[in-house]
């Protein structure tokens, strides 16, 4: 870390800490994390990185003071500034404050012993993944594994899509390691980002506007086999190979989690579309203000994030989950949720009219709510001449992971 006298590259900050996640005070830190975030923002208010974010130093100062922001917004702004800032010394005591913040969060994050990780065969019997008995499954977070060796180059990658605990060191990331030591990266599948950069309608992380993710992962890890897909298409692969779409064609997967999306399967394969954007119904036109509305997006009406915001307005605790629980009895909360489900149903009906799916599979945390499923199923049955069978994925939160394993095995 910086306490050693070495300034971390900004990409390393992004890898080593997620400032969007709630952080807590760590033993030995003089200030609570939010005080540190505010102090660092104050010191970076005049930094040139603010211009890259399209904000002014006054905006940063106001957010640092708490006048225009909450804790999550301040953390998000700090992460954005660190991401786009050119490598250069930090002003004043910002360096030591960042040390306190990052070190405190690192101590609060438990590391996973690689020797205790389950093999793929143990976690998912019968998956058919090559070398399933000798390949362990790592679900992210910090991993204490000593050297982690790439399958083709024998080099050690740092934290990122696959990597080692920070204690294992990153300065010697590109130093060749003995080919017989440490676990190896056999193949990589990254679910969650498009392969062709970002469209003009997305809100990419600063610096990701022209990112070619497959090439970046391939170069960073030194592996030749990299496949990239979005999380719902990966989930659809899992449903095709091991789940509800094994005997259904065509199939439709609707993801209701943090966002909202669809995936289409025809003749036993996922249909990605010309640019990998098939099923991106989050961008569907919604509301009566279109085309005048600047953001007529379905995702702003129905998604986990949208329901969280609705819960904040209507006062139920626990975000989307609390909103759905409070909507079971009749009343204003139920009326508000029903209106949002109606908006979702309009677009799902259109998907079904176009595809005529045999079966529709719902995945994601919001989809697991009984009321949401019942409302959606009712609207589909009333609107469609040939309503599909509507089922809930049996994979809980593992559908995208299982699909990623399948794609990695095929890479």
Give the per-residue pLDDT at 255.
96
For residue range 112-167, what is the model confidence (pLDDT) as tens digits?
666 777 887 887 787 766 677 777 766 655 544 443 333 333 333 333 333 322 32
H or E, element range at 391: strand 389-392
CB-count burial class (<10 Å; 0-12, 13-18, 19+) for 390: buried
Give the per-residue pLDDT at 171.
30
pLDDT at 268 over 60: yes
Q: Quote the pTM value.
A: 0.61
Residue 32 to residue 25: CA distance in whole angstroms: 5
Give the per-residue pLDDT at 359.
98
C-alpha to C-alpha distances, 243 to 111, 202, 273, nearest whole angstrom: 32, 31, 22
Give the chain's length: 411
Looking at per-residue confidence, does 262 or 77 come out higher?
262
Give the per-residue pLDDT at 391.
97
Residue 209 to residue 193: CA distance in whole angstroms: 12
Residue 401 to residue 409: CA distance in whole angstroms: 12
For residue range 209-235, what is the model confidence (pLDDT) as tens digits?
666 777 877 777 777 777 888 899 999
Give the per-residue pLDDT at 163.
31
Determine what percent of the chain is predicted with pLDDT higher than 90.
36
Q: 260: which DSSP letter?
A: E
Give the per-residue pLDDT at 107.
66
Give every CB contact of residue 357 below 8 A, 6+ residues apart in sequence. 248, 250, 251, 252, 388
**Cis peptide before 368, with omega less than 30 degrees from 0?**
no
Considering Cα of 333, then 335, then 337, then 340, what sign does the dihedral take?
negative
Residue 358 to residue 264: CA distance in whole angstroms: 11
Q: What three-state secondary structure class fits 130?
A: coil
What residues does CATH 3.30.420.40 cover in the chain?
Answer: 249-396
For residue range 167-222, what is the model confidence (pLDDT) as tens digits?
223 333 332 323 333 444 545 554 444 444 444 445 555 556 666 777 877 777 77
Question: Looking at domain 249-396, does it have CATH number 3.30.420.40?
Answer: yes
- Over residues 239-246, the mean pLDDT reads 94
For residue range 3-57, what is the model confidence (pLDDT) as tens digits?
333 444 445 544 544 444 433 333 443 345 788 889 999 999 999 888 888 888 8
Q: How confident is the model at residue 304 (pLDDT cuts 50, 70, 90)?
A: very high
pLDDT at 78 over 50: yes
């Amino acid at each position: 870390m910086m306490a050693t006298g070495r300034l971390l590259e900004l990409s390393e900050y992004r890898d080593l800490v997620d400032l969007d996640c709630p952080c807590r005070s760590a033993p030995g830190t003089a200030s609570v994390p939010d005080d540190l975030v505010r102090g660092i923002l104050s010191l970076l208010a005049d930094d040139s990185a603010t211009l890259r974010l399209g904000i002014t130093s006054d905006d940063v100062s106001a957010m640092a003071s708490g006048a225009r922001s909450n804790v999550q917004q301040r953390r998000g702004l700090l992460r954005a500034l660190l991401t786009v800032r050119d490598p250069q010394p930090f002003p004043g005591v910002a360096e030591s404050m960042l040390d306190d913040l990052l070190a405190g969060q690192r101590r609060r994050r438990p590391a996973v012993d690689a020797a205790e990780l389950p093999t793929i065969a143990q976690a998912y019997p019968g998956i058919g993944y090559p070398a399933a008995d000798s390949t362990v499954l790592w679900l992210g977070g910090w991993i204490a594994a000593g050297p982690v060796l790439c399958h083709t180059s024998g080099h050690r990658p740092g934290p990122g899509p696959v990597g080692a605990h920070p204690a294992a060191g990153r300065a010697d990331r590109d130093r060749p390691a003995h080919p017989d030591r440490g676990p190896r990266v056999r193949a990589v599948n990254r679910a969650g980002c498009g392969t062709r950069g970002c469209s003009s309608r997305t809100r990419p992380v600063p610096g990701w506007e022209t990112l070619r993710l497959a090439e970046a992962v391939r170069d960073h890890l030194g592996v030749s086999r990299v496949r990239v897909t979005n999380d719902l298409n990966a989930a659809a692969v899992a449903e095709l190979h091991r789940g509800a779409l094994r005997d259904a064609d065509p199939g439709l997967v609707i993801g209701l989690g943090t966002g909202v999306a669809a995936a289409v399967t025809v003749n036993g394969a996922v249909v990605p579309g010309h640019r990998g954007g098939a099923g991106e119904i989050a961008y569907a036109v919604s509301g009566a203000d279109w085309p005048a509305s600047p953001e007529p997006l379905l995702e702003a009406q129905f998604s986990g994030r949208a329901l969280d915001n609705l819960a904040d307005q209507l006062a139920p605790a626990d975000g989307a989950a609390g909103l759905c629980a409070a909507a079971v009895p009749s009343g204003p909360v139920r009326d508000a949720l029903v209106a949002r489900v109606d908006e979702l149903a309009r677009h799902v009906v259109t998907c079904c009219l176009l595809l005529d799916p045999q079966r529709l599979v719902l995945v994601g945390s919001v989809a697991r709510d009984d009321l949401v499923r019942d409302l959606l199923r009712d609207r589909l049955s009333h609107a469609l001449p040939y309503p599909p069978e509507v089922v809930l994925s049996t994979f809980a939160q593992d559908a995208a992971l299982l699909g990623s394993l399948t794609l990695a095995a095929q890479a």
